[in-house]
Structure 1
Amino acid sequence: MPTFPFSVSDPIRHHGPLPKTSDVVIIGGGVIGVTTALFLAKRRISVTLIEKGRIAAEQSSRNWGWIRKQGRDGDELPIVIEACRLWKELAQECGEDIGLTETGVTYLANSDKQMAGFETFMKLASAYDLDTRLLDGGQTAALFEGMSRKFTGAMTTPSDMRAEPWLAVPALARLAARLGVTIVENCAARTLDISAGKVSGVRTEAGRIETSTVLVAGGAWSSLFLKRHGISIPQLAVRATVAATEPMAEIHAGAAAGAEVAFRRRQDGGYTLAPGGHLLHLGPDVFRHATKYLPALMAHPFGTHYSPAAPEGYPDSWSTPRNWTADAESPFERMRVLNPAPEQSSLDAISRNFQRLFPQFETVRLKTTWAGMIDAMPDIVPIVDRVETIPGLFVATGMSGHGFGIGPGIGRVVSDLIQANATGHNLNRFRLSRFTDGSCMRPGPAI
């Protein structure tokens, strides 16, 4: 069993070898890359997935483990609904216990203003026939055993689910491998090969793969890789601190979020806890793309606090190279796994706030703590598109903290996009050109 959080010290489980040719090469072994590979393999398309570190070692294993329809952006919601169905199917297909459980998601409201905001989503919920409902203060209190404070109300969706990310994505990768996907860990993609203006291959640290189709699904690293090829996307990454408690008495079987703390029941009997805010490291890309983020900053602050510089080796560090050659070590090899340290102040706050909310717990003992880098876009919805200027290149990135839950839906959509099939969803909101065609940024929900 791998350690958690994953690290470069974990044994390589997918050795390859690197093939000479592949119909499709996917760069990035997170939930988007893995599920796209899986759905392509089901169509008997040869796929090679290359990961610089370990499968799901970054944000795909470090997230909260929520699989929710509630609170989603209206353009994402149809894909999330599909994703929820696919999660159930894939959990059966992989034949492993990934902790997938239908226990609901609840948002807690401190004010009538927040409740009014929930009313906005209720219109979407009604249109898609979701089981989402609003609760008053008394109903909210009855939902959580021993809660110390009274909330104005809540919004809850009982059919929303939870799973253990660090179990789920590796299990899906093993399923993909059984279906014929070649997965190569500890193998960084350095550059694309471009011939006559089109993709003709990928140069990796282990050699070249000939291919006409490449998907970049590198999470927080996508912008850095694409920039090397003249493609600029306004992607930033925020650091989120998370903790897991020791086993505790159950006060709620599902997931919930308030202004000060978010929590969900874990398969091991503890709770995953997270604070309400994030840390944004200031780097070159922050200043380069600042104007595009102004609408999101005004609608809901992007991060509660800021750091003057990202640590050395991070994608937007001041010292990270923006250009390199295919025959030299790249930034992706220098940092196999992006493993940020959790913020002690955030850990103290979430333990304190959770204990105050549920005073029946005299102490909240943390079993493990970690942090992850959430790749985000200015409008808090992803890029899912082909790159018109380089035929054969596709991008699926900037999931903005929604990637785990929506992952199988995006994977299925991208697999059909690559095959030039109908995707079944309107992807206009997720087009790459929205950042250059004069479109106004329309921020989606922050949570």
Structure 2
Amino acid sequence: MPGPYVVPVHGDAELPKDVDVVVIGGGIIGASTALELAERGVRVALCEKGGIGQEQSSRNWGWVRIACRDPREVPLMAESLRIWDTLDQRTGRDTGFKRAGIIFTSSTEQEFSDHSNWIKNLEGHPIEARMLSGQEFRSMYPGTTMNLKGALYTPTDARAEPQKAAPAIAEAARANGAAILTECAVRGIETAAGAVSGVVTERGSIACKAVVLAGGAWSSLFAGTLGIHLPQLKVLNSVLRTKPLEGGPEQTMWASNFAFRKRQDGGYTIASGNENIVDIVPKSFRFALDFVPALRKEWRALKFRLGWRFWDELRIPDRWTLDEPSPFEYCRVLDPRPSTGMSDNALANLRRAFPIFESAQIAQRWGGYMDVMPDAIPVISAIDHIPGFHIATGFSGHGFGIGPGAGRLMADIVTGRTPVVDPKDFRLSRFTDGSKIELISGY
């Protein structure tokens, strides 16, 4: 089942012999990092095993939100919103960005209280957020059948088009001097005196002083070849999009049994608000203890499944020599089959809540693998025992909106500039230094 159409980015024909930094992974995190570095005059090569933005960066919901984020992500997301405001002008391309507002519905007193309390996390940030009463919500949406306690409304939150954003950012990086290399998997890194000295790709070697691994759901496999413990699992989210629909809601909305975003073409992206599939794979057992905090809090929202994916991943080698093809060359794009049941249920629930969606016609479905960490916040970190090696991954389904800010923070870390926000919470060592690993936000 083909994924969404992504604006194509044609890779460079020539492989540079040497650069300052190689970024591995052409999703929105890798592309944003490459753009930030290139604009600072750093020589960058962005290496992508498939096409730019072909995996989760084009398969997500397209939300650009600060609402209901883990408090540890709020400062970085505030920075990311500032970047999104000027991204179209900066890249010279359309990303579909629009500040149209986001609503998180509160169906119970507890949800209303939780959402009210969350607003405290915005103190010190010039971002508007307020609670709507049930009556205010119904006045805002006179056609709804929802009987709510209220809702959290962030009118300056936004949306953008996932199929356009990463390509736009990558092309802007190239315009600033970066090499953009598609169908160019990195097999591994080379070191000299223990520090990064280059990478080996399927097309040859590139000498460099620093590497950023932004490989999304593939990052744990790559990191494992270097002896790095990166507890990351894949979680499947299923999405559908509709054909254009007249008169539908303008704001993006989350409810417990549906979520939707208006698209630039007038259609809607729709998914379950609180259901995902977790395939049981060999790494499920390897990282089981790491994920105990998440399972304690979120197990009701996860559908565990044992099937063909276990055997597929069992066959993937965890070591290979740099002169032989790597697993990244045998799977250019992760294109999982979506759960039609989950997306159909979401659409049915949406139709009951907003009867205008009765006439919505399904145009396409797709699935995407989110790269999930035990505490649902990313790793944006230098790796101390391999000087020059960095990781930006594990955005746990929240990476699209925060991507431009994450790219800026990663570029700060690589270049030694004062970080735009304190990166302490995003360090990889939190999983090995005795820190309490806690899942704070479930959204």
TM-score range, shorter chain: over 0.9
Alignment match, 1:169: 166
Matched residue, 1:384: 380
- Aligned position for 1:255: 252
| 1:336 is the counterpart of 2:342 | no
Matches within 5 A, 1:37-76: 37-76=34-73
Matched, 1:325 2:324: no
Find the counterpart in structure 1 of residue 352 from structure 2: 356
Task: Write out aligned runs for 1:38-437 (5 A).
Answer: 38-275=35-272, 276-301=274-299, 303-309=301-307, 311=309, 317-437=313-433
CA-based RMSD: 1.7
- Indicate the SS of the match to 1:395: strand
SS in structure 2 opposite 1:187? coil
Alignment CA distance shift 1:267-1:14 (3 Å): same
Displacement of 1:194 in angstroms is 1.8
Instruction: Give the secondary structure class of the aligned counterpart of 1:154.
Output: strand
How far the C-alpha of 1:97 sits from its partner, in A, is 2.3
For residue 20 of structure 1, what is the aligned residue in structure 2? 17
Per-residue CA deviations over 1:116-174 (Å, capped at 9, x if unaligned) read: 11122111124424211011111112222411121111001000010101111111111
Per-residue deviation, 1:96: 2.2
1:65 maps to a residue whose letter is G
Q: 2:434 aligns with which of 422, 430, 438?
A: 438
SS of aligned partner of 1:349: helix
Q: Residue 281 of structure 2 contacts residue 309 of structure 2 at CA under 8 Å; is this kept in 1?
A: no
| TM-score, normalised with respect to structure 2 | 0.96
- The two structures have a TM-score, normalised by structure 1, of 0.95
Between stretches 290-299 and 417-426, larger displacement belongs to: 290-299
Shift of 1:25: 0.3
Q: Name the aligned partner's letter for residue 39 of structure 1.
A: E
Distance 1:229 1:149 in 2: 51
Percent of matched pairs sharing the same residue: 40
For 2:44 and 2:13, how far apart are their aligned partners in 1? 12
User: Offset of 1:365 from its aligned partner?
Assistant: 1.3
1:242 deviation in Å?
0.5
Per-residue CA distance 1:229-283 (angstroms, 9 max, x = gap): 1111111110000111111123311210000000011111111101121101111
For structure 2, the 5+ residue unaligned runs are none
Distance 1:362 1:326 in 2: 54
Change in CA separation of 1:11 and 1:65 when aligned onto 2, cut-off 3 Å:
closer
CA distance in structure 2 between the partners assigned to 1:361 and 1:404 by the alignment: 26
Shift in alpha-carbon separation, 1:443–1:4, aligned structure 2, 3 A: same
User: For the structure 1 residues 115 and 388, does the alpha-carbon distance in structure 2 shift closer, same or farther, using more than 3 Å as the test?
Assistant: same
Deviates more, 1:322-331 or 1:153-162: 322-331
- 2:332, 2:135 → 1: CA distance? 49
Letter in 2 for 1:438: G
Deviation at 1:6, TM superposition (A): 4.9
Would you identify which runs of 4 or more consecutive aligned residues in structure 1 move more than 6 Å? none
Tell me if structure 1 keeps the 8 A contact 2:408–2:420. Answer: no
Q: Which runs of 5+ in 1 are unaligned?
A: none
Output the CA distance in 1 between the equivalents of 2:214 and 2:5: 19
Q: Which residue of 1 aligns with 2:4?
A: 5
One-letter amino acid of the counterpart of residue 345, structure 1: G
